[in-house]
């Protein structure tokens, strides 16, 4: 599209149509937030071409403080502790995010981590994770993070060629060499306990076997594959029938054939859990309530920030840590829609036999102007292809194991 993306004030669903008081009267109760994303820095040292923060519909980062101020993170920490106390939570997780959170520097990270611990640790078990492009990761920073028990997740899309196709500096230079340096540091024996895993956005022009082999070299505790953020207004570029599903199937087959699996791949593990009738743990699939709240650098309480890919203001709740409890978000139709499971699915998805596994896919990928989020995922064909394949492979495996046990 040429020119600025037009502002869509509000889609029809859920904001104009979801009756939250009626849901409560019918017995629905909110699931407390357990994950809190703090946007501690609004800038980034990379210019990734698919970033939902800087290249998509919502450009609110431009109007927010560049870095989260101490007064803001203290207010956020107090609200998190309050929420944990009110709901008797046994643990909460705080994810330091951006932009690029390491731009805060050790001078900013040290008091931030100390204040989070002081406010939250007396109330509940505090886990802290930092999601980074890793380019600023060095030994002093790692020592600081280790001293506070912070685990580090790193974004890397695969081979150097594939990664540098999208994850570049503003001047066009690739980032893979810097990420490789940082991962060698993070995976060293003295630092490995701080290694949380890798986050990879799927690039279907990359050979899936090469991608998997490259990421596997870094032995991540967990590997997350994410579909590029797209929706019905801005669909994926490929016009093939189910290219993302086919790509993921090739990785799945390689991974599933290994015994035991050398690394955990969250998407695949979640699909298997859901197929076997257990709950999912990811917002990409399944119908489990989403229990994530975001605090922006100005203290605004927002919904999951991937919604910035849909339209300007899609994440907004009108709440702030300076004046509102996190519980106040449970009156927001957008927050509630992520917690009501089957009731948030359109008729097309409800009639699909895969709906309890797929769950209509990632919520952000369902957006269509004028209809809001009451649609199938724009990756419907891909998810259908992938899920049916996983069902077939797992079913065959179970049958073979049962047959073998009977022979024994």
pLDDT digit string, tens, across residues 335-391 = 999 999 999 999 999 999 999 999 999 999 999 999 999 999 999 999 999 999 999
The tens digit of pLDDT for each residue in 167-220 reads 999 999 999 999 999 999 999 999 999 999 999 999 999 999 999 999 999 999
The tens digit of pLDDT for each residue in 7-49 reads 344 558 999 999 999 999 999 999 999 999 999 999 999 999 9
User: Does residue 16 form part of some domain?
Assistant: no
Please state, in angstroms and rounded to a whole number, the distance separating the CA atoms of residues 64 and 295.
12
User: Does residue 18 form part of some domain?
Assistant: no
Q: In this structure, are residues 221 and 151 in contact, taking their beta carbons and an 8 Å threshold?
A: no
Q: In this structure, are residues 262 and 216 in contact, taking their beta carbons and an 8 Å threshold?
A: yes
Q: Residue 342: give its domain's CATH number.
A: 3.20.20.70
Phi, psi of 214 (to 5 degrees): -65, -45
Please state, in angstroms and rounded to a whole number, the distance separating the CA atoms of residues 151 and 129.
5
User: Does residue 227 form part of some domain?
Assistant: yes
Q: What is the token pair recorded at 187?
A: 């995976």
How sure is the predictor about 74, in pLDDT bands with cuts at 50, 70 and 90? very high
**Taking residues 116-143, what's their average pLDDT?**
99
User: Does residue 133 form part of some domain?
Assistant: yes
Please state, in angstroms and rounded to a whole number, the distance separating the CA atoms of residues 72 and 70.
5
Task: Tally Cβ neighbours within 10 Å of residue 172.
Answer: 8
Q: What is the token pair recorded at 25?
A: 């009267």
Q: In this structure, are residues 364 and 309 in contact, taking their beta carbons and an 8 Å threshold?
A: yes
* Residue 159 CB contacts under 8 Å (≥ 6 apart), including other chains: 176, 206, 210, 211, 214
How sure is the predictor about 408, in pLDDT bands with cuts at 50, 70 and 90? low
At residue 98, the pLDDT reads 97
User: Does residue 6 form part of some domain?
Assistant: no
User: Does residue 15 form part of some domain?
Assistant: no
Global model pTM greater than 0.85: yes
Q: What is the token pair recorded at 46?
A: 């990379």
26: preceding bond cis by omega (within 30 degrees): no
Phi, psi of 307 (to 5 degrees): -65, -15
Instruction: Give residue 265's domain range.
Output: 33-399
Please state, in angstroms and rounded to a whole number, the distance separating the CA atoms of residues 36 and 189.
29
Number of domains in the chain: 1
User: Does residue 264 form part of some domain?
Assistant: yes
Task: Tally Cβ neighbours within 10 Å of residue 66.
Answer: 11
User: Does residue 9 form part of some domain?
Assistant: no
From residue 398, alpha-carbon distances to 176, 192, 272, 310, 393 in Å are 40, 35, 12, 40, 9
The tens digit of pLDDT for each residue in 153-164 reads 999 999 999 999
């Amino acid at each position: 599209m040429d020119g600025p993306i037009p502002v869509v004030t509000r889609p029809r669903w859920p904001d104009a149509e979801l009756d939250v008081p009626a849901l409560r009267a019918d017995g629905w109760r909110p699931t407390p937030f357990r994950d809190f994303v703090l946007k501690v820095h609004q800038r980034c040292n990379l210019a990734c071409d698919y970033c939902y923060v800087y290249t998509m519909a919502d450009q609110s980062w431009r109007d927010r403080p560049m870095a989260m101020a101490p007064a803001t993170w203290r207010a956020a920490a107090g609200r998190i502790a309050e929420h944990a106390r009110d709901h008797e939570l046994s643990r909460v997780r705080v994810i330091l995010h951006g932009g690029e959170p390491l731009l805060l520097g050790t001078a900013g990270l040290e008091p931030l981590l100390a204040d989070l611990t002081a406010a939250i640790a007396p109330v509940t078990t505090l886990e802290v994770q930092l999601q980074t492009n890793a380019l600023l990761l060095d030994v002093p920073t790692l020592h600081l993070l280790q001293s506070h028990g912070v685990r580090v997740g790193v974004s890397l899309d695969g081979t150097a060629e594939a990664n540098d196709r999208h994850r570049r500096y503003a001047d066009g230079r690739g980032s893979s060499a810097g990420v490789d340096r940082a991962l060698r540091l993070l995976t060293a024996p003295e630092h490995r306990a701080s290694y949380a895993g890798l986050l990879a956005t799927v690039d279907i022009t990359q050979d899936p076997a090469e991608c998997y082999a490259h990421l596997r070299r870094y032995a991540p505790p967990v590997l997350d594959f994410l579909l590029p953020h797209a929706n019905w207004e801005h669909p994926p570029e490929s016009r093939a029938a189910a290219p993302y599903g086919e790509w993921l199937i090739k990785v799945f087959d390689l991974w599933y054939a290994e015994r035991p699996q050398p690394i955990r791949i969250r998407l695949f593990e979640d699909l298997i859990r859901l197929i076997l009738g257990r709950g999912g743990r990811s917002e990409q699939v399944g119908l489990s309530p989403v229990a994530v709240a975001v605090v922006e650098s100005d203290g605004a309480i927002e919904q999951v920030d991937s919604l910035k890919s849909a339209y300007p203001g899609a994440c907004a709740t009108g709440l702030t840590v300076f004046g509102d409890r996190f519980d106040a978000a449970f009156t927001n139709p957008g927050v509630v829609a992520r917690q009501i499971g089957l009731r948030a699915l359109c008729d097309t998805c409800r009639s699909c036999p895969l709906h309890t596994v797929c769950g209509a896919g990632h919520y952000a990928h369902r957006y269509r102007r004028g209809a809001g989020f009451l649609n199938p995922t724009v990756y419907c064909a891909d998810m259908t292809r992938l899920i049916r394949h996983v069902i077939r492979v797992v079913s065959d495996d179970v049958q073979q194991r049962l047959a073998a046990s009977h022979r024994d």
